Structure 1
Amino acid sequence: MDTAEILKKVRQIEIKTKGLTNHIFAGEYHSAFKGRGMSFSEVREYHFGDDVRSIDWNVTARFNTPFIKVFEEERELTVMLLVDVSESSAFGTKKQDKRHLITELCAVLAFSAINNNDKVGVIFFSDGMERYIPPKKGKSHILFIIRELLSFTPKRKGTNLKETLRFFNNATKKRSIVFVLSDFLSGDYQDALNIASKRHDVVGVHVYDQRDKELPPVGLIQVSDAETGDVQWIDTNDRQVRQYYERQFAQHAQYCKNAFLKSGAELVSVRTDEDYVKALQTFFLNRA
């Protein structure tokens, strides 16, 4: 895309996603992450109806009566978007490719964040860290991020989430809300995810295409791995081939789910040809 096309696309995405943020996700983002960025204020006696998870057991034991910790919500949070720009993210067969969906999701999350007076930063990653955009506030910053999402060309093709999370863990000391938007076609990232989830509020957004999950019976076709360049012929009319392909996706999806569950993080899945609004609404409401 040339500059005029990029600016036109930025405007289209702004109109669509800002409208969703203002009319559909108004308040839901704030409710989902309230109390996620909290600072300690004081200790007071427990009252009926207080959350028992807030009990300060050391003070309770000292005075032989229940006390709870009181926290104040921080005035601003930092939202980091970890965006997969590997070659596989350019894949899509119906409504849009994964990268375009990721761009829209980032825009919705970013506009929601600035409406909540939060800062937003971005890390583009492939099989290495491609680009870091420091967290800032403001509409112009969000439009800059969208423009970069549309025009950025990665230097590498593969995916290495482990190294990306390691970079993030080292570079970001303040507790943040972290959205990892990817198809997660990466090697083992469990340890790095565990560390990130202890320090930050981590949410994975698994973006996939229908053809990542299943093959149509269209005969003998040549397929290539977008990230490695490996090419092979497969017979899609063979039922066992199609079943194997579906099992591989199911195993990969289960690995992603288990990895986030084990780390204490959360994962939401969105398909390229399905409405992401419902998926985000359900996610926000479940956290509220």
Structure 2
Amino acid sequence: MSAAPRARVPERSAGGARGAPKGKPAAGTRQIVGVPPEILRQVKLLELRTRGLVNSLFTGEYHSVFKGQGMEFAEVREYQPGDEVRSIDWNVTARMRHPYVKRYIEERELTVMLAVDLSGSARFGTINRFKSELATELSAVLAMSGVRNNDRVGALLFTDAVEHVVPPGKGRRHALRLIRDILVYEPAGSGTDIGGAVDYLVRMLRHHSIIFLISDFLGTDFERPIKLLAQRHDVVAVTMEDPRELSLPDVGLARFTDPETGLTLNADTSDPDVRAKFEETVREEGESRKRIFRRLGIDEIVVRTDQGYIDALLRFFRLREQRGRRR
């Protein structure tokens, strides 16, 4: 399977992120230039495909789950039977000698950030697509859903450093720019540092936001940094998997290369014990990841390169909606 053509992203100024220490914020956003026509066609196709999904499937679910995270003062009016006592404005009541209450309306505007892992392991896939391509399509669906919901949507692309940032914005044109940037971006790094990405988001986002953290969460200690992020924001983990990372095929002696470190390992995959040990290790790592997310109160969406993601997203939205009704 071949990857989509990628365009190099030059610096807008000499102080951009590529020369900055790992994990440090870029000095402003960078402009992508020289995008090949085939990439622009891919962006348009992605928009058409995801717009159909958003219109037919996700608009209602997204809106009901992410309704707004705060309340905004609207007016003071006379108390009416059925009003809550705690909403009484005692200062106005004393002045007017009659009960008055404060009325609030829900703040509709939300900020949604897509934190996308573009490390070496994300540029891997054996069936249908690479994980990075899956991340791009998921980001497109979430971005278009946010646009339909009148939310501000942004993106942060990271490896072992913060590579590229699209500040939150509104509207279709902004969403298309975000999708294009994820689609064409060629990362400089190959490792993974979720902590650096989290540090950037903590400094960047001053108000409560929704953060979709899209990664494979392989070989990285992410609990401590994500814990801080989850204390301030609504974090949703989107875990990408490929079937060849879950079980080994019986193909005899094979060489495996770590896409992030370059280290190689020879293994006899025809040995049932080797395959069983591999699957056991993968299962334990997956269970550990799920325990971490449960401890932190983070919802996880698991998607695979060899399967569709629609059902996984719908399950997440409906679970959130049911949980909200029980509160």
Same fold per superposition (TM over 0.5): yes
Residue 39 of structure 1 deviates from its aligned partner by: 2.2
State the partner residue of 1:96: 129
1:279 corresponds to: 312
Is this contact kept in 1: 2:147–2:170, CA < 8 A? yes
Q: Confirm or deny: 8 A CA contact 1:33 1:287 kept in the other structure.
A: no
Shift, 1:228, TM fit: 0.3
Q: Find 1:33's aligned residue among 54, 66, 71.
A: 66
> Residue in 2 aligned with 1:152?
185
Measure how far apart 1:119 and its partner are.
Answer: 0.5
Q: Could you tell me the TM-score, scaled by structure 2's length? A: 0.78
In structure 2, runs of 5+ residues without a counterpart are 6-34, 88-101, 322-327
- Give the residue type in structure 2 aligned to 1:257: K
Summarize the alignment of residues 232-247 of structure 1 with structure 2, pairs less than 5 Å apart.
232-247=265-280
- Find the residue that maps to 2:59 and give its secondary structure: coil
CA-CA distance at 1:246 after TM superposition: 1.1
1:132 shift after superposition:
1.3
Contact 2:121 2:259 in 1 (8 A): yes
Identity %: 41
Question: What is the RMSD of the two structures over their aligned residues, measured on CA atoms?
Answer: 2.4
Query: What does residue 255 of structure 2 align with?
Result: 222
The structure 1 residue matched to 2:282, chosen from 240, 249, 252, is 249
Rounded to whole Å, the distance in 1 between the matches of 2:145 and 2:272 is 45
Structure 2 partner of 1:136: 169
Partners of 1:39 and 1:195 in 2: CA distance? 24
In structure 1, stretches of 5+ residues that fail to align are 57-68
Question: Which has the larger Rg?
Answer: 2
In 2, are the aligned partners of 1:127 and 1:157 still within 8 Å (CA)? yes
* 8 Å CA contact retained: 2:115, 2:213: yes
Note the C-alpha offset of 1:187: 2.1
CA distance in 2, matches of 1:18, 1:4: 21
Hey, what does 1:5 align to over in structure 2? 38
2:151 pairs with 1:118 = yes
Of 62, 73, 80, the residue aligned with 2:106 is: 73
Where 2:40 maps in the other structure, the secondary structure is helix
Which residue of 241, 257, 263 maps to 2:296?
Answer: 263
2:228 is aligned with 1:202: no
Shift of residue 142 of structure 1?
A: 0.9
Aligned 8 A contact 2:254 2:268 in 1: yes
| Structure 1 residue runs of 4 or more that deviate by more than 4 Å after TM superposition | 44-47
Conserved 8 A contact 1:38-1:71: no
Partner of 2:57: 24
* Aligned mates of 2:165, 2:194 — CA distance in 1: 15
